[in-house]
Chain A
Amino acid sequence: MADISLRKVAKSYGKTSVVEALDLDIHSGEFIVVLGPSGCGKSTLLRMIAGLEEISGGEIAIEDRVVDRLEPRERGCAMVFQNYALYPHMTVADNIGYSLKVAGVPKAERRARIEKVAATLALDTLLDRRPAQLSGGQRQRVAMGRAMIREPKVFLFDEPLSNLDAKLRVQMRIEIRKLHNRLAATSIFVTHDQVEAMTLADRIVVMNAGKVEQVGTPLDLWNRPASRFVAGFVGSPPMNLVEATIAADGAGVLADGTRIDLPEHRLARDAAVIVGVRAEDVRIGPAVNDPRLVLGVEFIERLGSASLVHGRLAGADFVVTAPPALAEGAPEGLALTLPVDRLHLFDAVDGRRIETDASSVEALPIAFETVAAPAL
């Protein structure tokens, strides 16, 4: 368990800056997911915390101790690598116990601790195998065991699930979260998969091109994306983003001249904005006002529980979630309504979120009763 704080941490290779003046505070016991597209500097950030990469500027502190000049082993972090990086010539037991061996832990104690960790990860029957004799999921668990056995203050995961098939990935995701709940060590998990991020994280750090776009809980990111980038990155399908200009009466005018009502804002006339709306927030059916908003349908993805209708609206790609039944009659044009209270506005130039009165509307409150869980 450890507080980690990054102060103006930067990394550059020669002239190319990979991470720029990054500030981040991580509370002890928290599960942080760093989310971002490929090449945005996620691994670099993680490796700087681990001490595998020197920082070019700023300061990293773990538990109030500045660790910039410490060797990886002195930082109290354990890491799970994307390709697991198991020692190919050692058995599972030796792989898991290697750090203890290096630390000079006596053999008997080592054995006991290896067995304990192996039991947690259901590896007990595989202890004498070599990594080459294991399946991908088993290797992944060995890599986890190797990190766990040191009882580290901080767990670092660099896309540990990306080499697994879809089903195993979901399963390991749940295992990792359970493990975290049990061990309560601070965890930093890097991924470019937003579903992984949403399901695992206490808080998500969205990165883009070496900068932090937003830090927040999964629901924060969902309900109030801080920038156009976050809006387009989080969620599947991603939020629809349509360009508009502000008319004299405050309404939005799309590229094809269609007017839409916008939430209350303080934008000047002719200001360029991006209007964002999630596929599932769009209402199918005409609105009262004229001219109507019509989606030119291009194709339909049938997911079973719902259908995603892809098409173009005022020159931009647009997706709408429709009931599965709609998919059968596949219309060419679909009349839509954009609910005013579900619209997000972003500055067309810098992409930052523009606060509106709709911004204060959080997820619709749902009344529910708390019921004690049945005893197992």
Chain B
Amino acid sequence: MIERTPILNTITHVVLFVGFLASITPFVVVAIAASHDLVAVNLVPMPMLPGGHFWENLHTAWTTADLGPKLVNSFIFAGGVAAGKVLISAITAFAIVFFRFPGRQAIFWAIFITLMLPLEVRIVPTYAVAADVFEPYRTILDVTGLNGLIESIAGVRLDLKFGLLNSYAGLILPLVATATGTFLYRQFFLTIPDELVEAAKMDGAGPIRFFVDVLLPLSRNNVAALATIMFLWAWNQYLWPLLVTTEPSHATAVTELKQLIPNVGGIPEWNIAMAGTLIVMTPTLVVVVAMQRWFVRGLISTEK
């Protein structure tokens, strides 16, 4: 499209630039703060030129908060959540779009409604289940009296206990189901022409073959987009990892950042805290930059 709107062009550029400044400033402040020593960072106002203690601060932050293993945990956690979400949402959307079965619509809406129940809202029951996976089933057994029945027949009382606290499974599984992902895939699958499905049928491909050979390759942009978003989202999760990991061995980098935040009355080492923040932020930046091309394509359009 050819347009000649110099005034509009100028305005849009100004707006873009303001937006850019608004989003970059906090990063710049963090980076500058991370380069000062204890005294300089606590001056009011803080000097706006970088100081010379950058690498030193990074090193201190790294060792104090033990960020190495924590970053590994974060990668496992965020990677697991992203992979799980991509897989589960692809499969659920596949079922909902390509199969006719009773209750299909109901199931779709049930999934859709979970959009209204983010983790924060259902955190207590989720925690209860993670702490004791079989509790709901035990309750059902008890309430229905089935347990008494089993006891009288088998002579043993069913007492299943299986907790997920302080484990990767506990970190990942409760976050894996995702209505957003299912929805994204559903919209994409709906654009697949019926004739393509039928052509695959005529070629003798069953549902799994079709899924693997046709749907997955066609939706690779979606996979990239969803995986990126979900990786970032999981990486930045705070509440859930904080709750489910009580031991430092499974803590994630984001929750461990609080080790670096100065306590009230403690030494105000904000330079170290900011250095730690930079370290924790870097992987997400790398992921966004690396995935950007796919990611944008997956969100805006399907391949021609």
Contact = CB atoms under 8 A, between A and B. Distances in A.
Given A88-B303, A89-B217, A132-B304, A52 B201 contact: yes
B159 interface: no
Interface string B193-208: 1011011111111000
Contact of A85 (B196, B205, B303): B196
Interface string B180-200: 000000000000010110111
Contact of A102 (B196, B198, B205, B218): B205
A81 B199 contact: yes
Given A82-B195, A99-B202, 17 more contacts: A47-B198, A50-B198, A72-B204, A73-B201, A73-B202, A73-B204, A77-B202, A78-B202, A83-B195, A85-B199, A87-B199, A88-B303, A98-B203, A99-B204, A132-B304, A146-B199, A150-B203
Contacts of B218: 88-89
B193 A83 contact: yes
A103 B201 CA distance: 12
Nearest to B203: A99
A81 B203 contact: no
Contacts of A103: 204
Contacts of B304: 132
Given A102-B209, A132-B304, A87 B196 contact: yes
A167 B45 CA distance: 78
Interface of A: 47, 50-52, 71-73, 77-79, 81-83, 85-89, 98-99, 102-103, 132, 146, 150
Given A73-B204, A102-B209, A87 B214 contact: yes
Nearest to B304: A132
Contacts of A52: 198, 201-202
B193 A85 contact: yes
Contacts of B201: 51-52, 71-73
A258 B217 CA distance: 71
Nearest to A103: B204
Give me the 3 closest cross-chain CB pairs, A-B, nearest first.
A73-B204, A85-B195, A99-B203
Contacts of A72: 198, 201-202, 204
A71 to B, nearest CB: 8
Contacts of B198: 47, 50, 52, 72, 79, 81, 85
Contacts of A78: 202
A370 B203 CA distance: 45
Contacts of B209: 102
Nearest to B303: A88
Given A88-B218, A88-B303, A102-B209, A146 B203 contact: yes
8 contacts: A47-B198, A52-B198, A52-B201, A79-B198, A79-B202, A88-B303, A89-B303, A146-B199
Contacts of A102: 203-205, 209
A190 to B, nearest CB: 14
A189 to B, nearest CB: 16
B48 to A, nearest CB: 51
A87 B216 CA distance: 12
Nearest to A132: B304
A13 B205 CA distance: 26
Contacts of A82: 195
A134 B190 CA distance: 25
A263 to B, nearest CB: 48
Nearest to A53: B198
* Best-buried of B196, B201, B202, B204 by chain A (most CB within 10 Å): B202
Nearest to A71: B201
A88 B191 CA distance: 13
A73 B202 CA distance: 5
A81 B195 contact: yes
Given A83-B193, A102-B209, A132-B304, A50 B202 contact: yes
A98 B199 CA distance: 10
Contacts of B213: 98
A150 B209 CA distance: 18
Contacts of A73: 201-204
A43 B271 CA distance: 72
B203 to A, nearest CB: 4
Nearest to A81: B195
Contacts of B205: 98, 102
Contacts of A85: 193, 195-196, 198-199
B204 to A, nearest CB: 4
Contacts of A79: 198-199, 202
Interface centre among B199, B200, B209 (most CB of A within 10 A): B199
A22 B142 CA distance: 60
A335 B229 CA distance: 79
A86 B195 CA distance: 9
A51 B193 CA distance: 18
B185 to A, nearest CB: 17
A82 to B, nearest CB: 7
B213 to A, nearest CB: 8
A86 B202 CA distance: 12
B296 to A, nearest CB: 19
Contacts of A81: 195, 198-199
B133 to A, nearest CB: 40
Contacts of A71: 201
A47 B199 CA distance: 11
A174 B304 CA distance: 31
A142 to B, nearest CB: 11
A92 to B, nearest CB: 14
A174 B204 CA distance: 29
A27 to B, nearest CB: 23
A300 B213 CA distance: 56
B121 to A, nearest CB: 40
Contacts of A98: 200, 203, 205, 213
Contacts of A51: 201
A143 to B, nearest CB: 9
